C-alpha cells in the first residue's frame, strides 16, 4: 500500500492548546477571594449584646456581626441580633471596643442600624443586588461562634427567594448562597467579586448543608435610610408575596412598559387588599400609583404610610394582557 505523505504547514495538524491547569484556576479563585477580603474585612465588626433581663432570670447574652456603611459610624446588622438589647458593644477589626446605640430596627426585613463613635472608620461599598445571577462568586465575612473575621466563599445559588423572618413576616427578594454561614455570621456582609456588598447574611437551615440566606442589599439600603431618618419603618401593605421577574421583551415593548422586569405575585393573602382588587398569583405588577415597579424593592418603597386608605391605580401584566385595577393599601399591623 502506498504511503501518503501529508504536506503543508505543520501547525495545520497541531494539537489544540490545553486548558489552563487546575492550579492556575485555583490561584485565580484564591486571588479573587483574597482581594475581596482585603477591601471588606476592615469594615466588618463583631457585635456583643446583653439582652434585657426578665424578672428572676439571669442576664442573657448574644451577638453577631455587622459592617460599617458610612464613615461617621453607622452600621448595618440584623434586627434579630440587637432586638430587645439592654446594651450593645462593637469590636472593630483592629480589636478596639466601642459602645453602640440602636438607631432603629425593622423586624419585617430583619435589618437594623446601630451607631458607634470611633475615628478612622472604613465604610464598605454597597452594590446592586438586582444585578446578581446564580453562579456568581460571593464571599461572606463574620464572626461565627465568636471566631472573629471568619471568611467563607461560595456562589449565589438563587435569587428572589422568600424567607420568613423571626418576626413571622415573609421577606421578599432574599439571596440564597452556599457560602457557609453559622450562628454569629448574622448581620455580616455578603460581597461579590468586585468587593461590593450585595447582601446582609441572615439565616441558615440547620437541617441542611449549603442552604444559607442573605437579605438583598437593595432592600437593606432602603430600610437603613428609613431607620436613619425616622428610627422606624412605617408602611402600608396590600397582602402579596412577590419576587422580581423578567418580562418578555416583546410584551414590554408592546405595552410601552418602562422596564423589562416587574414584581411577580407568588402569593395573595386571603381577605387582603390584593385579593379584593382581583390580583392573582402569576400577575406581574409593573406600575403602582403612577410609578414604575421594577421589582419587589421598588414596590416596598411605594407602600408608604401615607398611602394607607388611599385608592390608587395598579397596572399588572397577566399573560400577554395589561390590566389596570384599583387597590387601597391598608396600615401594616
Question: Cβ-count burial of 201 within 10 angstroms (0-12 exposed, 13-18 middle, 19+ buried)?
Answer: buried
Cα separation values, 292 from 94, 188, 215, 288, Å:
44, 31, 23, 7
Is 65 an annotated catalytic residue?
A: no
Q: Which residues, in sequence order, are CB contacts of 256 under 8 Å at separation 6+?
A: none
Q: Which residues, in sequence order, are CB contacts of 270 under 8 Å at separation 6+?
A: none
- Evaluate whether 243 touches 162 at the Cβ level (below 8 Å): yes
Which of 48, 65, 79, 80 does the annotation list as catalytic? 80
- Evaluate whether 184 touches 147 at the Cβ level (below 8 Å): yes
The residue with cell 477589626 is 93
Is 96 an annotated catalytic residue?
A: no
Which of 48, 110, 172, 173 does the annotation list as catalytic? 110
- Evaluate whether 188 touches 143 at the Cβ level (below 8 Å): yes
Comparing C-alpha atoms, which of 246, 239, 225 is closest to residue 295?
Answer: 246
Is 48 an annotated catalytic residue?
A: no
Which of 186, 236, 277, 283 does the annotation list as catalytic? 186
Q: What are phi and psi of 9, to 5 degrees?
A: -65, 140
The residue with cell 421589582 is 295
- Which are the catalytic amino acids? 80, 110, 186
Amino acid at each position: 500500500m502506498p504511503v501518503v505523505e501529508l504536506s503543508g504547514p505543520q501547525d495545520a495538524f497541531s494539537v489544540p492548546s490545553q486548558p489552563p491547569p487546575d492550579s492556575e484556576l485555583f490561584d485565580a479563585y484564591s486571588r479573587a477571594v483574597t482581594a475581596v477580603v482585603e477591601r471588606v474585612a476592615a469594615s466588618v465588626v463583631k457585635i456583643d449584646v446583653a439582652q434585657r433581663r426578665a424578672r428572676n432570670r439571669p442576664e442573657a447574652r448574644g451577638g453577631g456581626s455587622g459592617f460599617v456603611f458610612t464613615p461617621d459610624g453607622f452600621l448595618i446588622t440584623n434586627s434579630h441580633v440587637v432586638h430587645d438589647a439592654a446594651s450593645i458593644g462593637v469590636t472593630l477589626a483592629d480589636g478596639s471596643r466601642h459602645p453602640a446605640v440602636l438607631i432603629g430596627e425593622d423586624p419585617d426585613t430583619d435589618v437594623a442600624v446601630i451607631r458607634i463613635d470611633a475615628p478612622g472608620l472604613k465604610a464598605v461599598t454597597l452594590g446592586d443586588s438586582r444585578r446578581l445571577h446564580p453562579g456568581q462568586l460571593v464571599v461572606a465575612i463574620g464572626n461565627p461562634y465568636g471566631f472573629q473575621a471568619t471568611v467563607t466563599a461560595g456562589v449565589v445559588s438563587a435569587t428572589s427567594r422568600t424567607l420568613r423572618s423571626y418576626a413571622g413576616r415573609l421577606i421578599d427578594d432574599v439571596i440564597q448562597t452556599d457560602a457557609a454561614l453559622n450562628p454569629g455570621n448574622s448581620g455580616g456582609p455578603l460581597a461579590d467579586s468586585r468587593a461590593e456588598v450585595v447582601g446582609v447574611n441572615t439565616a441558615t437551615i440547620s437541617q441542611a448543608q449549603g442552604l444559607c440566606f442573605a437579605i438583598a442589599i437593595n432592600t437593606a439600603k432602603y430600610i437603613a435610610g428609613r431607620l436613619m431618618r425616622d428610627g422606624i419603618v412605617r408602611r402600608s401593605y396590600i397582602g402579596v408575596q412577590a419576587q422580581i421577574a423578567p418580562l418578555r421583551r416583546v410584551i414590554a415593548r408592546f405595552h410601552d412598559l418602562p422596564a423589562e422586569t416587574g414584581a411577580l405575585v407568588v402569593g395573595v393573602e386571603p381577605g387582603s387588599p390584593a385579593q379584593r382588587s382581583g390580583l392573582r398569583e402569576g400577575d406581574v405588577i409593573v406600575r403602582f400609583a403612577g410609578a414604575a415597579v421594577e421589582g419587589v424593592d421598588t414596590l416596598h418603597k411605594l407602600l408608604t404610610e401615607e398611602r394607607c386608605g388611599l385608592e390608587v391605580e395598579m397596572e399588572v401584566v397577566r399573560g400577554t394582557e395589561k390590566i389596570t385595577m384599583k387597590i387601597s393599601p391598608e396600615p401594616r399591623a
